[in-house]
Amino acid sequence: MSAEALRLEGLSKSFGGVPAVRGVSLAIADGERRLLLGPNGAGKTTLFNLVTGDLPPDTGSIRLFGREISRMAAHRRVHLGLARTYQVITLFPRDTLAHNLELALLGLSPLRWNPVALLSRRPELRERALAVLDRLGLRAAADRRLSDTSYGEQRRVEIAMALSQEPRVLLLDEPFAGLSQEERRDIQQQLAAIPRRVTVVMIEHDLDVALSFAERITVLHQGEIIVEGSRAEVVADARVQEVYLGT
C-alpha cells in the first residue's frame, strides 16, 4: 500500500457558530490525484485553508507524511513540502512574470528576508525563473508585467510558482475557473506533466476536466463528506446526482 501523503481526522471549523467543515476525515496516498467536489458552500476551500494553516481548526488532526501539522505555522508547512494555488489569483500584477517566479524561488531560501537587495545579486534565480517560463512557453513574455498577460497565462504562472517550490503535496483551488477552452487545454497539459512524486489535490467545478484528472473523488456537502470513491462510483451515486448535479 502507498504511504499516506495527507491524513485528516475529525477536522471541523465554524464561523460565528455556523459550521463550515464538520468532522472531515480522509486519507490521500502519496502520488495520488484527488478531486474535491461539491456545490458552492460545501466547505472545500475552507478545508484547504485548514490544511495550509490559513485558518486554525476548531477540532481535529492534520498529518503531512505522518507529521502532525494542525497547529503549525503556515510558513513551516511550506517548508515541509506543502504548496497551493488560490481561487482568486494572488500574484503581483505590477511585477514581471520572471520577477513573480524569482520571488517564489526565493521564498524557500534562507536568504529570503531581504529580497530587494538579494535578487540583484542572485542571477541564478532569474535563470531558474526563465527555465520555468520556457517550459510553459512563456519565456518570450518573461519581462512583461503580469497585468499585461491573459488570465490563462496568469493561471499557468501561478501553478508554476507553486511547483517551483518543489512541493510534495500541491493543493489546486479551481485552477480552470474562468478559462477559455484553449486555456483549459494549456492548464491540463501543465497538470499532466506534474511528476508522480507530487501528490495533487484539486477543487474543481468543471466535471469533464476534473473527472479526467482524478483517480479518487471526495464529495462534500454542507461541510461533510457524503461520498468517496472512484469516478464511476461517484458519478453513479444517487446522493451526488441529487446534491451536486441536481437530478
- The pLDDT score that the predictor gives to residue 1 is 43
160: closest CA among 139, 184, 129?
129
Could you tell me which residues come within 8 angstroms of residue 96 by beta carbon, excluding any fewer than 6 positions away?
Answer: 142, 143, 144, 145, 146
C-alpha to C-alpha distance for 108 and 165, rounded to whole angstroms:
7
Domain 4-94+166-243 homologous superfamily, CATH: P-loop containing nucleotide triphosphate hydrolases (3.40.50.300)
The whole-number average pLDDT for the span 123-143 is: 83
Tell me which of 6-15, 73-82, 137-146, 195-204 is least confident: 137-146
pLDDT in tens, 140-182: 888 999 889 888 888 888 888 888 888 999 999 988 888 888 8
Name the DSSP class of 2.
P
- Integer angstrom CA distances of residue 238 from 36, 120, 233, 241, 246: 17, 58, 10, 5, 10
pLDDT at 109: 57
- Please, are residues 144 and 163 in contact by the beta-carbon 8 Å criterion? no
Q: What confidence tens digit (pLDDT) does each residue in 42-87 have?
A: 999 999 999 999 999 999 999 999 999 999 999 899 989 999 998 7
The DSSP code sequence of 135-182 is HTT-GGGTTSBGGGS-HHHHHHHHHHHHHHT--SEEEEE-TTTT--HH
Q: Are 8 and 15 in contact (CB under 8 A)?
A: no
C-beta neighbour count of 82 within 10 angstroms? 27
Taking 70 as the threshold, does the pLDDT of residue 107 lie above it? no
Place of cell 512583461: 144
pLDDT at position 13, please?
98
Q: In what order do the strands lie in the sheet with 216-221?
A: 82-84, 169-173, 199-203, 33-37, 216-221, 224-229
Mean pLDDT of the region 90-95: 82
Contact predicate 33/200, CB 8 Å? yes
| Amino acid at site 128 | R
Domain ranges (residues) in the chain: 4-94+166-243, 95-144
> How far apart, in whole angstroms, are the C-alpha atoms of residue 239 and residue 237?
6
pTM, rounded to two decimals: 0.86
Name all contacts of 87-95 with Cβ < 8 Å and 24+ positions apart: 87/45, 87/173, 87/174, 87/177, 87/203, 89/151, 89/154, 89/155, 89/158, 90/158, 91/146, 91/154, 91/157, 91/158, 91/161, 92/146, 93/145, 93/146, 93/147, 94/145, 94/146, 94/147, 95/145, 95/146
Name the residue among 101, 23, 48, 42 with its Cα closest to residue 222. Answer: 42
Q: What is the pLDDT of residue 238?
A: 85
Q: Which residue has the higher pLDDT, 115 or 46?
A: 46
Query: Measured between alpha carbons, how far is 152 from 220 in angstroms, rounded to an integer?
Result: 27
Identity of residue 72: M
